[in-house]
Structure 1
């Protein structure tokens, strides 16, 4: 940030600026603060004070200084940009957008501002609005892989799956070995109902970088949805080999073993998963199934009831609990749970029928 002639000719201003330029931020802060106390109407001094405060990550103080400078001189060059950057670095993405937009109006097409506005919307979770800014920035920088990956994530998170696949092609042209891009394409294909294509993409991601976080988990989950439980278990185990703290992978590994009727291997995995996260409803359900098989009826009832408490819409624990109550001679309890399970199944069938009835008919 440059100084006006009047401030530049001032010895105190020259000294403060020299400290600022040398990166001696604490000393520069003290020097600029002294100037603002002596001249409380000096907008430039407040702007410089905000800059050195921001460099020290004292964003609250920096924002106060910048706002004071704005009140004194709204047209001060670079002030809106620095204000936006302070908001952005403080992760106050919403408030960063207004000063960034004001600067973009002064400097149309400024690549840095376009990226910052796009990333601010991304940081807010406003992915749909972020896309045009990120796309414009990516178009202006054909070699930028990070921009395209962020754009692909925005498309994915806003459920614009074809957009993900279009950006994926651009990423491949820059880096044919991007595991992250393969995973994103796989997720998009899965959302579009192309399970085999999704699995193929995740297998490519595993081949490219078997250590990529969540790559084995993603492939395992896709295989699990296709009832390929043995192969899914291998992928969940591979994810745990990479990250032993991956609770979802451990819970899914346990469930895969349950689906394979390998209760001896499932039980310790499920118990470990629940020790890390007791809110995993399916893990409680699976443990209930295992305990019932071991004739640990009271333990099974406890786990199934917990599963129902965590996910009342899951019909499986209701049906399992009904069968268990029946085996324990609890006729009324069994009757009630069977009724709930039956009602939930009817609702599911009705919802499917409604969906089929309202689906567009194929062209003749």
Structure 2
């Protein structure tokens, strides 16, 4: 009993100090105090949840997932924990892990997040039915509905939905950013560049628009423009994991390994469950004929995202180079299956999406 009182006596000030640091944006101090608090109370849901927030805020999503999962063991079914855990999975493009978490929460926010998962899992019509049922005029919901409609082939309807953002969003620049982002996600790259360029011109400080514009230029193989924009994003936000990923991926595609690795290292530390970073490590090793080093990265990428053609292409070549003919044939069969399903040309399509 005395020990429990002593723990509570020590835990209270630590937790309060961590909460204040978290609120003020001092994540280093918050993490330090929360780690000490966790040593005193390893199963305290509030401590674990706030530790998850710190890791999410500092873009260390693998650690955030571990913290939220531990918090849910102490507090099963907590809606906020379920949402936060789902969001951490989304940051690693693990939509299948996020979807059942959102489905457990009976809120409009959870339905919108569920619809977002469905869109990126290739089920836009289910997302449309869900979003239309919400009848929400919020910019985020309109963005998702427009994106779902465009991905379902309803281009005109999607454009009309997205046009509503011009009167609903916070600013014209914000509206054009969301419209351009939807264009990019729907693979209308030229249109995305046009709209996002306007957003950046309207508001040069809208870093999100600059990042999406960089991604559109990557897709169009406008490498110099993309590199410049990504460097500008990182100058404004040095710890932006998505910008590090796209710049590292761009350098990897250009076989500039020495420049790619520092960026990819940052991504791997933050998002160990993200398939793309494993793919590019594997691709770089394979390009340098370091096939033994390439293999585990490519196998990890294939496990994390079995629907990505470029992973199976690289795995086919790498396994063949290592004399693993059986594995090479399996990988090639998966590549051919996806190529036929997508009716895509027989080419090594690079992984570009994060």
TM-score normalised by L of structure 1 = 0.51
CA-CA distance at 1:325 after TM superposition: 1.9
Select 1:201's aligned residue among 195, 206, 231. 195
CA-CA distance at 1:276 after TM superposition: 1.0
- Bigger drift between 330-339 and 121-130 goes to 121-130
CA-CA distance at 1:286 after TM superposition: 0.9
Aligned to 1:5: none
2: CA distance between counterparts of 1:123 and 1:336?
A: 38
Give matches, 1:1-364, under 5 Å: 121=108, 125=112, 128=132, 131=135, 134=137, 151-159=138-146, 160-168=158-166, 170=167, 178-190=172-184, 194-349=188-343
CA-CA distance at 1:324 after TM superposition: 1.5
CA-CA distance at 1:328 after TM superposition: 2.0
2: CA distance between counterparts of 1:123 and 1:313?
A: 25
- Contact 2:143-2:178 at 8 Å conserved across structures: yes
- Contact 2:298-2:311 at 8 Å conserved across structures: yes
2: CA distance between counterparts of 1:324 and 1:214?
A: 36
Query: Structure 1 residues 317 and 190 mapped into 2: Cα distance closer, same or farther (>3 Å)?
Result: closer
1: CA distance between counterparts of 2:159 and 2:341?
A: 30
Aligned to 2:47: none
Query: Structure 1 residues 315 and 152 mapped into 2: Cα distance closer, same or farther (>3 Å)?
Result: same
Deviations 1:244-299 (A, max 9, x none): 22212211111111222222211221121111111221111111111123343222
CA-CA distance at 1:312 after TM superposition: 0.8
Give the secondary-structure state (helix, strand or coil) at the position aligned to 1:214: helix
- Contact 1:230-1:256 at 8 Å conserved across structures: no
Structure 1 unmatched runs, 5+: 1-89, 92-119, 135-150, 352-364
Query: Structure 1 residues 122 and 162 mapped into 2: Cα distance closer, same or farther (>3 Å)?
Result: farther
Deviations 1:285-316 (A, max 9, x none): 11111112334322211111111011011122
After the TM superposition, which segments of 4 or more aligned residues of structure 1 sit over 4 Å from their partners? 120-124, 129-132, 188-194
- Contact 2:283-2:314 at 8 Å conserved across structures: yes
Deviations 1:133-152 (A, max 9, x none): x5xxxxxxxxxxxxxxxx44
Structure 2 unmatched runs, 5+: 1-78, 81-106, 113-129, 147-157, 346-354
Query: Structure 1 residues 349 and 182 mapped into 2: Cα distance closer, same or farther (>3 Å)?
Result: closer
Give the secondary-structure state (helix, strand or coil) at the position aligned to 1:283: helix
The structure whose Rg is larger is 1
CA RMSD of aligned residues (A): 3.0
Query: Structure 1 residues 251 and 194 mapped into 2: Cα distance closer, same or farther (>3 Å)?
Result: closer
Deviations 1:57-114 (A, max 9, x none): xxxxxxxxxxxxxxxxxxxxxxxxxxxxxxxxx99xxxxxxxxxxxxxxxxxxxxxxx
2: CA distance between counterparts of 1:328 and 1:230?
A: 35
CA-CA distance at 1:122 after TM superposition: 6.2
Higher relative contact order (CA 8 A, sep 6+): 2
1: CA distance between counterparts of 2:188 and 2:266?
A: 33
Aligned to 1:143: none
Pairs aligned (count): 213
2: CA distance between counterparts of 1:153 and 1:256?
A: 29
2: CA distance between counterparts of 1:303 and 1:188?
A: 31
Deviations 1:176-223 (A, max 9, x none): xx4212202323444676432321121122222232241221111111
